[in-house]
Chains A and B, each alone.
Chain A
Amino acid sequence: MDKEPRISISVTVNGALVEAEAPARESLADFLRHRVGLTGTHVGCEQGICGACTVRFDGRIARSCLTLAAQAHGHSIETIEGVTDSGEIADLQEAFLRHNAAQCGFCTPGMLITAAEFLNSGETARRESIRQFLSGNYCRCTGYHAIVDAIAEIAGKKADA
């Protein structure tokens, strides 16, 4: 195969329509980072293990390294930039800061997007269930404790509300 097969992609990213042509083999992660310029989605392994590239695909978390950009055609993608600008996870972000739950920051966007799905899932906010839900997201810096604290705090507030 000499020529690079390319494909037209029309995708909603953080509420705005993006139309682009990309190599068929391009991952959604690379598409978002290098074609759309949204570098808050990080690539830690490209093997679907570390969770740093977690985004929302039609409202549900997905690994953008295990999704082709072509597969996002006609769908809606949300990234850390989108959920930051919308204010949707502002309380969670502040809790992460209060609890010092971000160190190097590389896992943080994926961690936050995963945590937001946990908070929306209606799961009970026991530390154990938070830990289990976060199991697909590596953090090599914090030891996880502060991340669990931050999510538990917001989950507790939601439950009280």
Chain B
Amino acid sequence: MPDPFVIDPGLARLSARKFVQGRGRYLDDITLTGMLHVCFVRSPYAHAKIAGIDTSAAREVGGVSHVITGRDLAPVCRPWTAQLTNLGEMKTAPQSALPVETVKWQGEPVAAVVASSRAVAEDAAELVEVDYEELPAVVDPEAALKPDAPLVHPDLGTNVAWSINIDTGEVDAALAGSDVVIEKTFSVDRQTGVTLEPRGAIADYDPAKCYLTIHLTSQVPHIQRYIYARQLGLNEANVRIICPDIGGGFGLKLHVYSDEIATAAISMLIRRPVKFTADRLESFVSDIHARGHRVSARIGVNNDGKIQALEVNDLAGAGPFLIHPRTSVIEPLLVAICTPLAYDLKHYRAGASLVYQNKVSTGQYRGVGMPVASLVAEGLVDAAARATGLDKAEIRKRNLFRDDAYPVTGISGEYLECLSQQASLDKLLKMMDYGRLQEERDAGRDKGIYKGIGLATVVEGTSPSPALYAAGGAPISSRDACTLRLEAGGNISCATGLTDQGQGGEAVVTQVIADVIGIPSNEINIVMGDTATTPFGGGTWASRSTAIAGEACLLAATEMREKILEVAAAIHEQPADILTIRAGEIFNLETNEKVSSLAEIGKTVHFNTHTLPAEFEPELIVTRHYSQREQLMVYANCALGVSLEVDVNTGLVTLHKIWAVDDCGRIINEKLVVEQMRGSIVQGIGSSLYEECIYDETGQLLNGNMFEYLLPMAGEMPDIECDHIETPTKATQLGAKGCGEAGIIAVCGAIMNGINDALEPFGVEVSSQPFTPEKILRALGKIV
């Protein structure tokens, strides 16, 4: 293996060429012969008893083939229950593809119409008459805790799904002994992922073979296959999941959705291929939501800026069901674990509770709890700086772990192998020209221009080990795989369990394989996203693609290289250890003469085996798996700075520029890393300034459309400058950590801090995300 990696800085992402030509193939682009379309009838109520469903008028519509209710699907698709047993007691309830007795959120599918076109299916869906008896809805998490609150699941006897307490001891004493104690409450509203491509499924059941093929907009085909087979009563080998090009995932496409699995069950029931594509209005009430936290927190700090103790209490909402199979507890769990993670402190106490409510289920969306954790931590650290009169960069330097301190065990028990928080912050401050920004800010204040600088220094958990999910009994694979095959022409076919929703994982593994074997990248073809043709792998989530699948590819390519050289050695009767491969040709290292080529090896192995030594039957196919087991997560870090301006008359925040320095270990393709950073920063800007799922007191989502649910657009986004520190993890040969989430984790806290910095002359602060103009004007007392 060449070391360091020969990284071609100009290497474009080969697979992106199809996208710029409009040749991506997404789910809705696929049409199967004889395919029908399914449209779901969704509950208009947040909580109601289904007293009856009259499908007769819908069945009469021309072009309608079936109208299907929960009773029809029950024999085909078993209910599922999300549960992890490794995180304390979890009270959980079964969920059905289509409910039979009660609906538990506005937007829950209750019946399905199958018709010749989506339009006709929608016509008929309007005629399905569901007799609902409305029940009181649980909406606000705090109200859910009240003794007289209605119960989302009466059988559970409580609305509390799960809670956790962490206490390292002596927190009260440490707070009492601190020079300054600051208490703050933060709230982070619900948001949703809004992948530009909506979710969907095309299911095609072949009753003759008992074989179910599902095209699915999923990040995790192998995991989905296991679950679909189990719920639908099929052998896993008789289920094929194909994930075509996916128009954005961000965690949203990890989960089991009742409408998608219902589509598969419907195909089995009616023995026809059926397509379901969510339309945008459905997406808002059926895609997982995320966030929705209220955190009260206290920090004790001494006058020298050293943090003495930290305490957080998080209350989060789950929706009506823990999302399958990962559950909805990981967000509050990570709030509890990750809030103190960046900082060296001795006393920490955390409580987190997750409660049921009649809203869309919450689940893993980019950042998973960590953006909330860092918002709280960074907000408290800035408040501590204000209270002690320290500079906001300086107080961080005094509390971050020293870069030579690693490995350390963080206060919540996390093993931090190797981070570069201090170096990243130093680099960031230089990049920003921090001192000049401070001068500009101070000068502007006299002229009524209120600029703010916001900083955040965060730790991102990436590439989880099986201890997070599988140890709790969930069918979630933390390993990934790579199968390499040398083709007769001398090029390489790769099949991996990894999937690509735009991150460029395909380009990364191509590059790793090319570099390790010594073959041009355009001689490698990658197959992914198809359970029939790829080895079992966990897929794409938790910033694991490069770190996990990249390592599997490295291992497979290393072995493939050895095998190729073994064949070359046998053919040419030279010792394998003096041979090497460069750009697809095999050289003798001692003479520097060309000995053979991959083309010759491929041809010999696949056709001309008569020329090989007797009893030498080479296998030029390699499969290697890799699972990260040493650390709960491989931690990366990021320092991020924001320069912004608050219009104190309108409350509008203008972002002038953002800078980020991240450390995701070994970088394989810098352009991909930078765009992961920028993309996740802009999603975080969405969280910070725009996105919120606004519900009324009856559990109706009021802004579930593209007009009113605001996403970040080009016009308001700033330029984002990125740089890196590379501290490779020693857990793998590749040394890569994840990089897809640091931006969204860091930017929310940085923007809040920047706004509060701008508002400092007024002595007011905001701490309720999103930081809307109205909230800012209220903080300023301009409106009451």
Residues of A within 8 A of B (CB): 2, 4, 23, 25-26, 33-34, 38-47, 49-50, 52, 79-81, 84, 93, 96-100, 102-109, 112, 127, 130-132, 134-148
A1 to B250, CA, bound (A): 42
Q: Identify the closest chain B residue to A148 (Cβ).
A: B714
A98 to B671, CA, bound (A): 9
A108 to B24, CA, bound (A): 10
0/1 string, B676-699, CB within 8 A of A gives 1: 011111110000000000000000
A107 to B712, CA, bound (A): 14
Cross-interface CB contact of A52 among B16, B196, B674, B679, cutoff 8 Å? B196
Which residues of chain B are near A4, meaning CB under 8 Å? Answer: 62, 120
Chain A nearest CB from B501 CB (Å) reads 6
Q: Identify the closest chain A residue to B14 (Cβ).
A: A97
Report the tally of A-B residue pairs with Cβ distances under 8 A. Answer: 177
Whether A142 pairs with B713 at a CB distance below 8 angstroms is: no
The verdict on A100 contacting B671 (CB below 8 Å), with A81-B22, A140-B711, A145-B720 known, is yes
A11 to B91, CA, bound (A): 59
Q: Identify the closest chain A residue to B24 (Cβ).
A: A105
Instruction: Answer whether residue B447 sits at the interface, using C-beta atoms and an 8 A cutoff.
Output: no
Whether B719 pairs with A47 at a CB distance below 8 angstroms is: no
Name 18 A/B residue pairs within 8 A (Cβ), A-sorted. A39-B25, A39-B29, A44-B197, A47-B280, A84-B20, A102-B19, A104-B197, A104-B245, A104-B501, A105-B247, A107-B196, A132-B714, A137-B713, A139-B196, A140-B248, A143-B677, A145-B719, A148-B714
Q: Identify the closest chain B residue to A106 (Cβ).
A: B247
Whether A147 pairs with B714 at a CB distance below 8 angstroms is: yes
Whether A140 pairs with B714 at a CB distance below 8 angstroms is: no
Whether A142 pairs with B196 at a CB distance below 8 angstroms is: no
Chain B nearest CB from A21 CB (Å) reads 14
A109 to B713, CA, bound (A): 17
Which B247-296 residues sit within 8 Å CB-CB of chain A? 247-250, 279-280
Instruction: Answer whether residue B51 sits at the interface, using C-beta atoms and an 8 A cutoff.
Output: no
Cross-interface CB contact of B20 among A23, A44, A50, A97, cutoff 8 Å? A97
Instruction: Answer whether residue B502 sits at the interface, using C-beta atoms and an 8 A cutoff.
Output: yes
Whether A79 pairs with B12 at a CB distance below 8 angstroms is: no
Which residues of chain B are near A39, meaning CB under 8 Å? Answer: 22, 25-26, 28-29
A58 to B503, CA, bound (A): 35
Whether B706 pairs with A42 at a CB distance below 8 angstroms is: no
A145 to B675, CA, bound (A): 8
Whether A106 pairs with B16 at a CB distance below 8 angstroms is: no
Q: Which 9 A-B pairs have the closest CB atoms?
A: A40-B22, A105-B19, A104-B502, A106-B247, A143-B678, A80-B22, A103-B502, A49-B706, A39-B29
| Interface hub of A97, A98, A104, A143 (most chain B Cβ within 10 A) | A143
Whether B20 pairs with A96 at a CB distance below 8 angstroms is: yes
Chain A nearest CB from B540 CB (Å) reads 12
The verdict on A100 contacting B12 (CB below 8 Å), with A40-B23, A131-B714, A142-B675 known, is yes
Whether B20 pairs with A93 at a CB distance below 8 angstroms is: yes
Instruction: Answer whether residue B195 sits at the interface, using C-beta atoms and an 8 A cutoff.
Output: yes
Which residues of chain A are near B194, meaning CB under 8 Å? Answer: 140
Cross-interface CB contact of A45 among B502, B678, B706, B713, cutoff 8 Å? B706
Which residues of chain B are near A145, meaning CB under 8 Å? Answer: 678, 717, 719-720
Q: Identify the closest chain B residue to A84 (Cβ).
A: B21
Q: Identify the closest chain B residue to A83 (Cβ).
A: B22
A32 to B638, CA, bound (A): 44
Instruction: Answer whether residue B497 sits at the interface, using C-beta atoms and an 8 A cutoff.
Output: no
Instruction: Answer whether residue B641 sits at the interface, using C-beta atoms and an 8 A cutoff.
Output: no
Chain A nearest CB from B576 CB (Å) reads 38
Q: Identify the closest chain B residue to A26 (Cβ).
A: B119
